[in-house]
Amino acid sequence: MAVLASAGVEDDASLVERLRTGDESAFVALVRRYQARLARLALATVGNRAVAEEVCQDTWLAVVRGVDRFQGRSSFKTWLFHILLNRAHTAVGKELRAGRPEQDVEERFDASGAWASPPVPWSERADDRIVAEQLAPRVRALLAELPDSQRQVVALRDVEGLSAGDVASLLGLTAGNQRVLLHRGRSRLRALLTADMGTER
């Protein structure tokens, strides 16, 4: 029996159960739910659309082949992303590195520890929910300007909502490295958004 969440949407665990029995509609539902994100993550990792497509197809094949063995110790989403990232990294034969130190972070403060150039307020109330909604399309575009390693962590943590532990193990990072990359990525996006606003005045 399918388990429906309160909005009438079937949850991943229920779809996985149906997929185990060879239910094609469950496969379709999972594809509709995740493929767009997989494609984006694959493209961000391999940088080539044709290869990214292949990586996604390989990923779904691995899912249907491996679903019997998937024990649900992690969430389906984490497992899926793990397969995708494995395939993507194999395709390009590269490993993520923690990234080189970046000047924009170190230069924010002057010798006395004060702000060299303080952040310019974005609006009357910088924690306004409406501001975040207006910024969402822009921040999505700006993600592309981050270095790969920062973009992956920010995408997985803040866009996809995976936990710090899951992201660290998905990307083969220590908890500390993951947090440093996350902070640099978020910080860079904040600065890019500020620059955006400056040019609009």
Partner 1 sequence: MTAYLDGALDDADRERLEAHLAECPHCSEYLAQLRVTIEALGKVEVDDLPDDAVDELVGLYRRWRRG
Which residues sit at the interface with partner 1, rule CB under 8 A?
A: 22, 24, 27-28, 31-32, 35-37, 39-40, 56-57, 60-61, 64-65, 115, 118-119, 121-122, 126-129, 131-133, 135-136, 138-140, 143, 154, 158-159, 161, 164, 179, 182-183, 186-187, 189-190, 193-194
Q: Whole-number minimum distance, CB 83 to partner 1, in Å?
A: 14
Q: Strand runs (DSSP E) across 47-189, as ranges?
A: none
Min CB(115)–partner 1 separation in Å: 5
- Considering beta carbons, is residue 31 or 98 the nearer one to partner 1? 31
d(CA 131, CA 117) in angstroms, rounded, equals: 22
To partner 1, the closest distance from the beta carbon of 143 in angstroms equals 8
Rounded least distance, CB 70 to partner 1, Å: 16
Q: What does 107-142 look like in DSSP terms, one character per residue?
A: TTB-TTSSBSSPPPP-SSSTT-HHHHHHHHHHHHHH
Q: 95 or 124, CB closer to partner 1?
A: 124
Rank residues 82 and 179 by Cβ distance to partner 1 and give the closer one: 179
126, 177 contact by CB (below 8 A): no
Q: Report residue 179 CA to chain centroid gap.
A: 14
Q: Residue for token digits 């010798």?
A: 111
Closest C-alpha among 79, 85, 78 to residue 56: 85
- By C-beta, is 8 or 118 nearer to partner 1? 118
